[in-house]
Amino acid sequence: MRELMYRDAVLEALDEEMARDENVFMMGEDVGRIGGNFKCSVGLLDKYGDLRMKDTPISEQAIVGMGVGVALTGLRPVIELMFADFMMVCADQVFNQMAKITYMSGGQCNVPMVIRTPMGGGRSSAAQHSQSLQAWAAHIPGVKVVLPSTAGEAKGLLKTAIRDNNPVIFFEHKMLYTAKFNDVPEPGDDVCIPFGKARIVIEGDDITVVTNSAMTVKAEKAIHNLQKEGISAELIDLRTIVPLDTDSIIKSVKKTGKLLIVDEGHISFGISGEIALRIMPDIFYDLEAPIERLGTADVPLPFSPALEFPLIPDEKKIAAKMREMVKGA
Cis peptide before 305 (omega within 30 of 0): no
Could you tell me the CA-to-CA distances from 147 to 48, 141, 259 in Å, in that order? Answer: 27, 17, 20
Rounded average pLDDT over 304-321:
96
State residue 187's pLDDT score: 85
What pLDDT band is residue 328 in, cutting at 50, 70 and 90? confident
> Strands 168-173 and 180-184: what pairing?
unpaired
- Assess whether pLDDT exceeds 60 at residue 96: yes
Percentage helix, strand, coil for the chain under 3-state DSSP, each rounded to 5:
40, 20, 40
d(CA 3, CA 287) in angstroms, rounded, equals: 39
Q: Average pLDDT of 94-113?
A: 97
Mean pLDDT within 235-242: 98
Q: The pTM is what?
A: 0.97
Q: Residue 82's pLDDT band (boundaries 50, 70, 90)?
A: very high
Name the band, by pLDDT with cuts 50, 70 and 90, for residue 208: very high
Residue 139 has what DSSP assignment? T
Give the closest residue to 215 by CA, choosing from 328, 85, 317: 317
- Beta-bridge mates of residue 25: 77
Question: Is residue 329's pLDDT more than 80?
Answer: no
* Alpha-carbon distances of 113 from 10, 22, 70, 279, rounded to whole Å: 16, 14, 9, 31
- Over residues 19-73, the pLDDT tens digits come to 999 999 999 999 999 999 999 999 999 999 999 999 999 999 999 999 999 999 9
Pairwise CA distance, residues 139 & 132, whole Å: 14
| CA distance to 47, 107, 112, 162, 313, per residue, from 18 (Å) | 10, 26, 14, 10, 37
Q: 266-312: per-residue pLDDT in tens?
A: 999 999 999 999 999 999 999 999 999 999 999 999 999 999 999 99
Sign of CA dihedral 171, 176, 177, 183: negative
Q: Which residues are catalytic?
A: 129
Report the phi/psi class of residue 212: left, alpha or beta, with left for phi > 0 and alpha for psi in -120 to 50.
beta
Sheet with 144-146, edge to edge strand ranges:
53-55, 24-28, 76-80, 114-119, 168-173, 144-146, 240-242
Residue 173: strand, helix, or coil: strand
Burial per residue of 289-328, b for 16 or more beta-carbon CB atoms within 10 angstroms, e otherwise: eebbbbbbeeeebbeeeeebeebbbbbeebbebbbebbee
Total residues found in the chain within this entry: 329
Distance CA 149, CA 156 (A): 11
For residue 316, name the pLDDT band (cuts at 50, 70, 90): very high
pLDDT band at 213 (very low <50, low <70, confident <90, very high): very high
Question: What is the distance between the alpha carbons of residues 233 and 315, in angstroms, rounded to a whole number?
Answer: 14
Beta pairing, strands 233-237 & 207-211: parallel
DSSP string, 63-124: HHHHHHHHHHTT-EEEEE-SSGGGGGTTHIIIIIIITTHHHHTTTS-----EEEEEE-SSS-
Average pLDDT along the chain = 96
CA 273 to CA 305: how far, in whole Å?
28
Asked if residue 128 lies in contact with residue 85, where contact means CB atoms within 8 angstroms, the answer is yes
**Alpha carbon distance 3, 12 (integer Å):** 13
